[in-house]
Chain A
Amino acid sequence: MHIADGVLSGPVIAVSSTLALAGVGIGLSKVDYDTIPKAGILSATFFVASLMHINIGPSSAHLLLTGLLGLLLGWTAFPALAAALLMQTLFFGYGGLTTLGANTLNAGAAAVICHALFFPFIRKEGGRPATPFWIGFWAGGIGILLNGLFFALTLFLSDRDFGETILAVLLAHLPIIVIEAFVTGSAVAFLKKVKPELLQKGPLVS
């Protein structure tokens, strides 16, 4: 759900870029030179994971992992996403140069909301073994759902006439919400088993 160049109106680009810039600023204030390599490598991991394709009937979709990124990184998701999106725009043809801010904001805001909603639950000790999976499941599903809703909102504010197009694009993305929820759920369950401290403190605390 990347927005390409030439689609958004001037005011929407101005406002979303300003907000994205603020988000990136907050995110950068939370990393120091000890944790920058970690943030960079996590961006690389999410970048590579987003190149994975899953077949749905005749077409295929790629994972976005907004929820998982938010759960792990919090506000640092903003600079991590901005770096990954810049890379995708310049070298792979996803998104656009003028819409970099809007795309960063849509994914980053969804990631931060996911962090605020689900991180308090995941860091708790104990609980039944199945719980981490369901926390990840909802984080993954809601993360990408919010991402989609923000995508829709940005387009709709640019031009009311985008309404039906947005609806069609969102419907085409419906299966990926479910897939993303399951994948994020099992990733979180895996991390809870293998490296529980990661989910307690967040990866950027050394």
Chain B
Amino acid sequence: MAHKINFSFVNMLIEGNVHSFINRIDPRVRLLIALLYAFCIAFSTRFFPIVLAGPLSFVFVALARLSLKQTFRRLAELNFFMIFLLLFFPFSVQGEALVQWGSMAYSKEGLEKAVLIALKANTIMITVSGLIGTMEPAALGKSMQFFGVPKKFIHIFLFMVRYIDVVGDEFRRLRNAMKLRSFQAKCNLHTFRTYGNLIGMVLVRSLERSERIMAAMKCRGFHGRFYSLTNFHIRMLDFSFLFVCLCFLASLTWLEFFSL
């Protein structure tokens, strides 16, 4: 297919089960754990903690009732870089040669390091998908506010989330109009020019829409604040979840420093 636009955003939220165990946990707790987890794994330099953390990341995915297919689709972009890393990185690292090719050597140390990086990246991404991947963006915005992210930024984020589907529909409508005029995407100047015009048109329409939105919001008395109808409560379940995850993270950190 020459051209694919995947606006699976809303579908994705429905696909990931709303009534899953993970969605019963307070979003703030999930965000906190995801952040701690990411930093903990990202700076790890040993295999052992990551080999332990890998299976746990799938526990989060299972608790979120995300399908494995959805999870692996999210790993595609990341592993594009990892393939380059596995192919080229070991040549740059000095060490015991696994394959000798002229003056270049594919070193064992380099391969180990590259595999470690690939494992870390995948583990973190799988965990983040499980913990946050099925969270409602509005809840994410509210939890970010709890952690002191500037309000203006959260507003931009929430507006963006709200209008991704609307703008996506606009794109699709124009794409359909192009198809009806028998446009075919190829790798030539005509295609690039047409895509430029398409992006320009969507920009113009989006901006005009944003002016209408602002006017409508002002009519309803908007003064820079979103009111949310849901309130977060920390319950026993959230505490237990936080406690279990923190214990696991602490043991990973311990392994990082004291294991063989």
Task: Tell me the A residues contacting B by CB distance below 8 Å.
Answer: 2-8, 10, 13, 24-25, 28, 31, 33-34, 36-45, 47-49, 51-57, 63, 65, 68, 72, 79-80, 82-84, 86-87, 89-94, 96-98, 136, 160-165, 167-169, 172, 179, 182-191, 194-195, 198, 203, 206
Contact = CB atoms under 8 A, between A and B. Distances in A.
Contacts of A80: 156, 160
B62 interface: no
Interface of B: 2-7, 9, 12, 34-35, 38-39, 41-43, 73-78, 81-82, 84-85, 87-89, 91-93, 110, 113, 116-117, 120-121, 124-125, 128-129, 132-133, 135, 137, 140, 150, 152-153, 155-164, 166-168, 171, 185-187, 189, 191-197, 199-204, 206-207, 209-211, 213-214, 217, 222-224
Contact of A43 (B89, B113, B160): B160
A34 B213 CA distance: 10
A196 to B, nearest CB: 11
Contacts of B160: 40-41, 43-44, 47, 80, 83-84, 87
B35 A40 contact: no
B89 A187 contact: no
Contact of A165 (B78, B89, B157, B222): B89
B112 to A, nearest CB: 12
A6 B192 contact: no
Given A6-B42, A83-B156, A164-B88, A182 B199 contact: no
B92 A165 contact: yes
Contacts of B201: 190, 194
Contact of A52 (B5, B82, B211): B5
B218 to A, nearest CB: 9
Given A34-B214, A161-B89, A42 B206 contact: yes
Contacts of B207: 38, 41-42, 195, 198, 203
Given A168-B88, A187-B203, A48 B195 contact: no
Given A5-B125, A183-B192, A44 B204 contact: no
A36 B155 contact: yes
Nearest to B74: A93
Most buried by A among B132, B160, B185: B160
